[in-house]
Amino acid sequence: MRKASVRIKDIALKAGVSTGTVDRVLHNRGRVAPDVEKRVLEILAEMNYEPNLIARALGSKKIYHIAALIPDPACDNYWREPQLGVEKAENAVKQYGVHVHQYIFNPYEVSSYVEQAKKLTESNPDGIFLSPIYYHDTLPFFMEWQDKNIPFVLFNTHIAESGALSYVGQDSYQSGLLAGRLIHYGQPQPCTILILHIDEEIKNAAHLAKKEEGIRDYYQKNDPDENYKVITAELSHPDQPGFAEQLYDIIDEEPDLKCIYVTTSKSYEIAACLAHRDINHIKLVGYDLLPKNINYLNSGAISFLINQNPKGQGYWGIHQLVNHLVFKKEVPALKYLPLDVVTKENASYYTCDDLLYDDHKQIA
């Protein structure tokens, strides 16, 4: 008998009990004689019974409130994509009584982040979705949410010790390794490689630290003769005075600089600075398919972009919570998204939403 055809009525008939008894065993409610319970459970297993989770969710009148802590896209356009993913997911699951409330904060002000995290916590949601971009400031919230038994899902930044239900995003360490290999191909020797963190405090950004660790480990393993020199720099926000000068100073001090690895989505800022000085011998590798990045990719100023699929992160993250809260399913602790290498030759293929997610494959 196929799983889809097994009904409670079939189980009751084979066990010689009423459908009400089977229902009480399934939901662990009411009194059932131990020998009867044992017989029903054995038959459930034998017949591979699986409850119709979708029908059950549709029939329930329970409302689930999910709180999403999202950086303000008006401050950094990168965050518009995960926000769109969250909204697309909410539209797909609202029929199951799921509502998502967005708590928007300024990603450049830790006080804004903490304020919104407090408001979110006070709302006592059923689940929480967030990118913990401020590592140290998020740790107390992790503890509070665990004390309150509120499941939370992380995206963009994985913190192994957080106690999160799940993480959705890329493996940042593997991403750094991949960047190292992309840079390695065809590079002359000797060569200096600059790891560039833009407007981020590396000590408070775990995902960027992992990216740097990955690329450094790549060259330690694959450059025994030490022909490649790897250096790191942190630049201020591009709107701050002196941003370009900081970059030019590094270039002037490192005559063998042949490649810059930008660990954030702001490769276009570096490409603009290089173009302003007519510098065209430095290869750029960075992240994310922002329109400005795509423009520089198509012009050849950026060699490679690693797509982090931020829209997919928002979409799948909400679904992880829905599967846990609504359908009572086990969800994977890690949902790594692919490390897509994008060049000007294949960039157009990454504009189709159908490549990012499929509404019909995730629900229950």
Task: Please give the pLDDT value at position 57.
Answer: 52
Query: What's the pLDDT at 314?
Result: 97
Q: pLDDT at position 357, please?
A: 47
Q: How far apart are CA 344 and CA 327, in angstroms?
A: 41
Q: Can you give the pLDDT at residue 359?
A: 42
Q: Tell me, yes or no, whether 22 and 122 share the same domain.
A: no
Domain that holds residue 204: 172-307
Determine the residue type at 351.
Answer: T
Q: Check residue 96 and give its pLDDT.
A: 86
Phi, psi (rounded to 5 degrees) for 100: -115, 125
Q: Are residues 244 and 283 in the same domain?
A: yes
- Rounded CA separation 156/133 (Å): 8
As a whole number of angstroms, the distance between CA 280 and CA 191 comes to 15
- CA dist., res. 94 & res. 22, Å (int): 30
Residue 343 belongs to a domain: no
Are 185 and 293 within one domain?
yes
Residue-level pLDDT at 50 = 62
Q: What is the pTM of this model?
A: 0.79
Same domain as 295, residue 184: yes
Is residue 79 located within the same domain as residue 158?
yes
Look at the chain and report how many structural domains it folds into. Answer: 3
What pLDDT score was predicted for residue 32? Answer: 85
- Regarding whether 315 and 303 lie in a shared domain, the answer is no
78 part of a folded domain:
yes
Q: Is residue 352 one of the residues assigned to a domain?
A: no
What is the pLDDT, as a whole number, of residue 353? Answer: 54
Q: Looking at the structure, tell me whether residues 297 and 320 fall in a common domain.
A: no
| Full pLDDT tens readout for the chain, 364 residues | 344 467 788 888 888 888 888 878 776 667 888 888 888 888 877 877 665 555 555 455 688 999 999 999 999 999 999 999 999 999 989 888 999 999 999 999 999 999 999 999 999 999 999 999 999 999 999 999 999 999 999 999 999 899 999 999 999 999 999 999 999 987 877 899 999 999 877 777 888 999 999 999 999 999 888 899 999 999 988 888 899 999 999 999 999 999 999 999 999 999 999 999 999 999 999 999 999 999 999 999 999 999 999 999 999 999 999 999 988 889 999 999 999 999 999 999 886 654 444 443 444 4
The whole-number pLDDT of residue 34 equals: 86
Q: Can you point out the beta strands (E) in the chain?
A: 64-71, 98-105, 127-130, 152-155, 166-169, 191-198, 228-235, 257-262, 283-287, 304-307, 334-336, 340-342
Residue 223 inside a domain? The answer is: yes
Answer yes or no: do 76 and 183 share one domain: no
Residue 327, domain member (yes or no) = yes
Q: Where are the alpha helices (DSSP H) in 277-358?
A: 291-299, 310-325
CATH number for 334? 3.40.50.2300
